[in-house]
Structure 1
């Protein structure tokens, strides 16, 4: 049951590995590596992502770990296994135990590894864990209406567009964003798994 993984208060230790990518639980030990990842491409300048300014990484980790303690989020850091270099971060979040639904988000990577296999590998690992270990019924993803690159990446995974939540959140610059919602349900996973394996072989 999913409760046994995320409770009590998300304290279980989950590590996922594939294709030289290692996802480990986020901690303060990863602060400097995430600062360097932020600086790689000055990611904080992107108004349509959740990437913090490099000077705010400690606060970002604080918030993520508080949400983990509350059982609402399970944050990972993305590490290049053979070098130990931190490439970015991603999370399970908005975990609804009663309907076995969760989301994948709070995802950002150093610019130098964008448009590589890294995102596909991470999504494969997280989706596989969600459907095959947590027995999730639904895995959702969301993005800013103007983050067309993210929408394209999500659609490339095989997720279905559910719709748009209008006036959903404040962006970093204070403007109000509409959020595009996507999901994958349990019955679609085997086909999507084969699709992602093919994409990874093609990279």
Structure 2
């Protein structure tokens, strides 16, 4: 099977729906995380404090040719509670990165992240035919690193002084990946975890 590049699509689970990000999501996103420093601490973009700044954030995601952004919609409320993205997809290399993810604090330690990633991983491996999916995060963001490892991803290495943070300091970037032959076992674990509540 030849891999395909990701395109805008709706991915629906029991708790969340991932849908193509649009300007219409901005009011919900501002309510979900606008101005919350803890949510944005490790996201490598300036903190959006106002609805206008949240719109600028959404516009930047939509204008980035390497990014396919999704709004994460809570099915219980039909409100956008975060964003997640595919990045740097290559059909020839059969790989894509998942990142740019943030959620409202109310979604932390719930099924939201597990199901969002299960939807993205299933689509990438099973529908698009990807052979490798990667993640990267700030070396100080232990919460994100733990969440990535709980998905079944493997640590690959750390690039030192790899990216400047919005505050001007430098971060080391920690890399993880999952391969297609690791996906069936990871999918079974994630599905079981979601079913358990």
Q: Calculate the TM-score normalised by the size of structure 2.
A: 0.92
Question: How does 1:11-50 map onto structure 2 within 5 Å?
Answer: 12-39=7-34, 42-43=36-37, 46-50=40-44
- Given that 1:44 and 1:54 are in contact with CA atoms closer than 8 Å, whether structure 2 keeps it comes out as no
* 2:134 aligned with 1:140: yes
Note if 1:62 corresponds to 2:56.
no
1:63/1:44 CA distance change after superposition, 3 Å: farther
How many Å separate the matches in 1 of 2:39 and 2:144? Answer: 16
- Cα deviation, residue 202, structure 1: 2.0
1:108 aligns with 2:95: no
Distance across 1 between alignment mates of 2:139 and 2:186: 24
Residues 48 and 57 of structure 2 are in contact (CA less than 8 Å); yes or no, is this contact kept in structure 1?
no
Tell whether 2:81 aligns with 1:87. Answer: yes
Tell me the equivalent position of 1:9.
none
Structure 1's unaligned 5+ residue stretches are: 7-11
Unaligned runs of 5+ in 2: none
Asked if the contact 2:15–2:76 (Cα under 8 Å) also holds between the matched residues in 1, the reply is yes
SS at match of 2:60: helix
Question: CA offset at residue 84 of structure 1?
Answer: 1.0
Secondary structure of the residue aligned to 2:160 is: strand
Report the counterpart of residue 161 of structure 2 in structure 1.
167
RMSD: 1.6
Partner of 2:148: 154
Q: Which runs of 4+ in 1 moved over 6 A?
A: none
Aligned length: 193
Q: What TM-score, normalized by structure 1, do the two folds share? A: 0.89
1:44 Cα deviation after fit: 6.0
Whole-angstrom CA distance in 1 between matches of 2:124 and 2:195: 22
